[in-house]
Chains A and B, each alone.
Chain A
Amino acid sequence: MIETENLTKKLGDLTAVDNLTLHVNDGEVFGFLGPNGAGKTTTVRMLCCLISKTSGKARIGDYDVGIEADSLKIRKFIGLVPDNVGLYDDLSAYDNLDFYGKLYDCTEAQRKENIARFLKMLGLWEKKDVAAGAFSKGMKQKLAIARAIIHEPQILFMDEPTANLDPESSKTVRDFILELKKEKKTIFLNTHNLDEAQRICDRIGILNTRLMAIGTPEELEKSVQGRKTVIQLEQAGDAIIAALRKLPLRNLVIDGNKLTIDVTDPEKENVAIVDTIVGAGGHVQSVAVVGSTLEDAYLKLVRQTK
């Protein structure tokens, strides 16, 4: 469980994170979206006890962030995949993981077992003796993930784990996150990638110094007014248009036989629209709801703060 209450971080005159209050449940994949400089990395660093908080409260499991005695316990309890992989290029993949396993107090047997397990899961076992410096970006990212979970933490913080990766490597990383999700790990995922967030996150928070919104991807999509219903008619006659204009529609656009109408709740409004068209003698060929994606929600919320 990750919990923050009015968590704030000031860097000089700049407020990097402003009164952040959120709750991430055990076993949840929580996506943290926001533009560059929104405070995502600062939040993760505070939660990982890497930097201090200016004010507010934060708890990781049973431990309080900001209490010196709890910091070591928190760091033992969590794993971090930072935005820069930060591997030791001169050491082999195996030695990189072995070093971190020792720092996390894993026994030799645990280290051997986990290194083999995670390198195999991530398709790196054959390269275990190759220096990390010789790895591709994708392989390095995978190795950084293995490093973060070598001690089998219950909570994993990932700071843009698929940034700069090719599509295939991104997919491997995403699949691995989903594997971890099956193991009921709590994952706190900083990302710019809306599609990725939508695919793997149970809930998403949108941060732009302040937390702008939080919810499931579906809830965030629905929170944005601006979805559109696109109706393809066999013939958009005057009688149909006149009938539609009597409805309290927002922004009816007619393009030949295609009608586009702004809707708030398409499940309810579309019924009335289609009924009206049919009542006016029209023939509906197709109805589709477009727009109002997570991207719309994200952009709207981020622009609001500018």
Chain B
Amino acid sequence: MRLSKSWIIASKDFKIFSKKNYVIYSLVVVPLIVSFLLPIVIEFAGHRNGASGIPASELTILLPAFTFFYLIIAGFIPTTIASYSLVGEKVEKSLEPLLATPTTDSEILLGKGIAAFLPPIGAILGGATIFMVLMDLVTYGTLGYYYFPNWNAAIVLFLMVPLAAILSVEWNVIISARVSDVRVAQQIGILLVLPFGVIYVAGELDLIPLGSTSNLLIIAGILLVVDLLLLYVAKATFRREEILTKWK
């Protein structure tokens, strides 16, 4: 596999995304809103009705769960991009000439994957940095130390978020074979956040303590296995003969 070919395809997609305001808004707005909103909620909810703030014992449950929120974002932002990248090509009927070039299916798939993976990861890590800085500012008084950065946050942001984003991209490759409308692809693609949402709620309720490193590693391990399984299905779906004769 030649990475240069994949990068050419990804670069072309980046150029197209840069011309689509909808994609840019999806990339930037959600991580930014979450990054600013969560610290604001902590600050104001804790001081409601004259209270002195959220107790430290609750903060240590909330903060890792909030970090987990970025996993949910990683599950749906790539959907916006991957649906444009794959279904968009299908709608514009530009896949056939692309497939006629001297590139392999894997190179094209990787290029599409890079295009749908890198911008969301950049946006999420940027947003998470803002989130951690602001959260430290509003919780330092209660905790007496800066909660972020920490190893658990690193596991979520640098291991689980990429794995979730890869899962989202693979999920969208599979969806793309069956739909021919970008919005439908996005709607189906977004279903992927449901399991992450359930884990998030379980974390908030302390049913699955998300502050536990071992729990995070177990979830990361499950994500890795699912990623590998979906990679197999995505590769089987993204074959030129399948695309030209069976993709609707």
Contact = CB atoms under 8 A, between A and B. Distances in A.
Interface in A20-53: 45, 48, 50-52
Contact of B240 (A50, A80, A144): A50
A86 B93 contact: yes
B245 A103 contact: no
Given A50-B240, A91-B15, A72 B97 contact: no
B92 A88 contact: yes
A80 B99 CA distance: 10
How many chain A residues sit at the interface, stated as a range, is 20 to 34
Nearest to A11: B245
Interface string B78-119: 000000000000001111111111111000000000000000
A148 B104 CA distance: 18
Given A88-B12, A90-B19, A91-B15, A80 B100 contact: yes
Interface in A99-129: 99-100, 102-105
How many chain B residues sit at the interface, stated as a range, is 20 to 34
Contacts of B100: 48, 50, 75, 78, 80, 82
Contacts of A91: 12, 15-16
Contacts of A90: 15-16, 19-20
Contacts of B235: none
B94 A87 contact: yes
A76 interface: yes
Contacts of B58: none
B182 to A, nearest CB: 13
Contact of B99 (A50, A73, A84, A88): A50
B8 interface: yes
A90 to B, nearest CB: 5
A85 B93 contact: yes
Contact of B97 (A11, A76, A86, A89): A86
B241 A87 contact: no
A61 to B, nearest CB: 14
Given A51-B245, A52-B241, A86 B12 contact: no
A51 B241 contact: yes
Given A52-B241, A90-B16, A91-B12, A104 B101 contact: yes
A83 B98 CA distance: 14
A90 B5 CA distance: 21
Interface in B1-36: 5, 8-9, 12, 15-16, 19-20
Given A82-B96, A88-B16, A51 B240 contact: yes
Contacts of B241: 50-52
A188 to B, nearest CB: 13
A86 B16 contact: no
11 contacts: A51-B241, A75-B100, A75-B101, A84-B96, A85-B93, A86-B94, A88-B12, A89-B92, A91-B15, A95-B12, A103-B102
Interface of B: 5, 8-9, 12, 15-16, 19-20, 92-104, 240-241, 244-245
Given A88-B92, A103-B8, 18 more contacts: A50-B99, A50-B240, A52-B241, A72-B102, A72-B103, A72-B104, A75-B102, A78-B100, A90-B19, A91-B12, A91-B16, A95-B15, A102-B8, A103-B9, A103-B98, A103-B101, A105-B102, A144-B97
